[in-house]
Every structure is written in C-alpha cells, then in structure tokens.
Structure 1
C-alpha cells in the first residue's frame, strides 16, 4: 500500500473512533489527557501536521478549546492531514513540523501517521471501542515508531516502554513502544 493510502486508511479508522466518542471527561490511555484535552491537543496540532505535508511551516495554533461542533472540527482537521500527506511529494525532501527545524519529510510523515493512529487508539479505548487498522498500516506505523521511540521518550512525548509478551500483535507492540499498556481499559 502506498504511503498516501496508508495515511488515508489511518485517518479513516481514527475518524471512526472520534464518531464513537460520547464522554469528553473520560480518561484516556494517554495519562496526561482526558478525552477533552486529547481532542484539544489534536485540534491544536492538526494544522501543523497538515502544513508539514504541504512543506509549509504552520506553528501549532493557540490552544484550541472544544466547542459545540468539536467532532466535525476534528474530523475536518484529520481529513486535512490525510489530504496533505496523500501526495507522494509530501514524503520527499525535507519539511518542518510546527517549527524552524528541518527534518526529512519521510521521517515526519511517519511521525504524523503514528500520532494519528496512536491518538485514535487512545480515543477509541477511552470510549470502549476497539479501533482496527489494516495490517499494512500497523506494520508501517510500528517501523516508524521504532525509529523515533527513544527520541520520543527523551523528549517526554512517550512514557517508558511497556513490555508486551512475545508474540504480541503488531498494534500491541506499537502501543508498548509509545508507553501505552495495550490492555488499558476505561
């Protein structure tokens, strides 16, 4: 599956999880966020993630607060991220992710895909859903997260790795790398 298709598939599953949300005050597997705070995080950073795919520096927005139409707003932000990263050119050369530092575009694209997938899982699990991504998406995301997991932990983006059993599923291994317990329940 081409990378543009991978990001579209990732977003589609995450949007499905967003549509299933009912309680903005529910805890999430991402310990620092409840559902409301995680949605606000995604709304705040979404334009910067899309901008990176278009090779345009878009700083993260002011902290975006959840309003009455938050679900439609988040879906639009995620669709824009998918549109930006669906172009093969988005993955070539260098880009910026919300700041002045240039990074390889394929590395940033992998980070974006991982961010959308992991936070989609967070939101899904917070509402008792079990989002499922295609195997191609999960394999790609696992490879990408593995490249940056140590750096993510050093920067405070990920918690300590959660050790998963031998033979664990791809999604469980991916979640463990990001410091999430795949067995987490609300």
Structure 2
C-alpha cells in the first residue's frame, strides 16, 4: 500500500482564491449592508474580516506573529477589490513557500497544516457566506472541500468552545460533502439556498 501525501495548503489556497476572486470582485457597493449567514457580520464586516484573515495568515505562514486585535475598514479604500486579489496572491505565495505547512505556528502552538486549513476554511466558507448574502451561487472546488473535511472535524469541538463555530446543524440524507462541512461550522445551507 502506498502513502499519498495530502495536497499542499498552498495549492489548495491557490484553487480557493481562484474561486473566491470573481465573487469578491463582483460584489457591489449597494450589497455591503446585507445580512450574511455568519450572523455577526453584514457583507462589509464579513469582507473586512476576510481581508484581515488573508493578511494576517501571510505572517503565520512565515512563522511570524499575527495581529487580530483590530479589523481595519479596508473597504473604505479605493480599489479594495483589486487589493483583495493582490493580498490573496501573497497568501498563496506565503503558504506555498518551502516549509510553510510544516512545524508549529502561532501563539496557540498549533500544527502549521491546521493553521493553513483555518485560512483555507475562511476563504471557502466565508465566500459561500458572501455568495448567499448577495443572492449568488458558489461551488468550491471538490479538492478544497476534501482537504478541509478531516481538519474541520478535528477542530470543531475547540472551535465551538471558542465561539468560532456555531453548533452543528443536522442535515437530511443526501446532503453533499460541502453542505456537511458548512453544517459542521454551524451554518444551515438549506436555509440560505439560492
């Protein structure tokens, strides 16, 4: 039996970023106040959060400290859509660097692959949040979803204790792998169907 290494985080992030860019780039200013499936955020706050995650996780890839204390309003700056694409490009490069997904990262001392999976999850689930909030469809790449399933199952109990995930949602038979992933984070994909 041969061992097949999991896909590298940088490769999965490249794919996730390519799926996210068109949705973020086409988000209109008049939708920024819309509610999202992530109850504490409207579209503007969600995008600012995602921006902050993308920037800070560049530092974490390099085993440097990140500062999540403040979330600046990057959407107040002209050209924020293009800037988001630039920052996700930097994120992909940072997590594609040799050794980025190895070792221990951050103040919590988590495995680098787990930390990389966190930003991959945000870049997938929050883009789904954005799509649903703005009445658009979103289907992430199956390889990205497959790369997240095991990590999300492992981090879910602690994420719920820290109020990062809501309580899991029960889904009917026939739910897709992505719907189950969303449900594990506390989202009800059926309630936000387009």
Same fold, TM-score > 0.5, yes or no: yes
CA shift at 1:156, angstroms?
A: 0.4
Equivalent runs, 1:57-136 vs 2, <5 Å: 57-60=65-68, 62-65=70-73, 66-67=75-76, 68-96=78-106, 100-136=107-143
Mind listing any 5+ residue stretches in structure 1 that lack a counterpart?
none
CA contact (8 A) 1:15 1:120 kept: no
Judge conservation of contact 1:161–1:178 (CA < 8 Å) in 2.
yes
Residues paired across the two proteins, number: 183
Name the Cα RMSD after superposition: 1.7
Deviation digits for residues 44-85 of structure 1, max 9, x if unmatched? 232211111111112126321121322222222222222211
Q: What TM-score does the superposition give when structure 2 sets the normalisation length?
A: 0.87
> Matched residue of 1:167: which SS?
coil
Residue 189 of structure 2 corresponds to residue 182 of structure 1: yes
Task: From 5, 12, 21, give the equivalent of 1:6.
Answer: 12
Q: Give the structure 1 partner of residue 49 of structure 2.
A: 41
Answer whether contact 2:60 2:66 (CA < 8 A) is retained: yes
Which residue of 2 is the match for residue 161 of structure 1? 168
Structure 1 contact 42–74 (Cα < 8 Å) conserved: no
- Is 1:18 the counterpart of 2:24? The answer is yes
- After TM superposition, the score normalised by the length of structure 1 is 0.90
Check whether the contact 1:53–1:85 (CA below 8 A) recurs between aligned residues. Answer: yes
Per the TM alignment, residue 129 of structure 1 is displaced from its structure 2 partner at its CA by 1.7
Which segments of structure 1 move beyond 4 Å, counting only runs of 4 or more?
A: none
- 2: CA distance, partners of 1:71 / 1:139: 28
Check the 8 A contact 2:58/2:95 in 1, yes or no.
yes
Aligned 1:128-147 pairs, distance under 5 A: 128-147=135-154
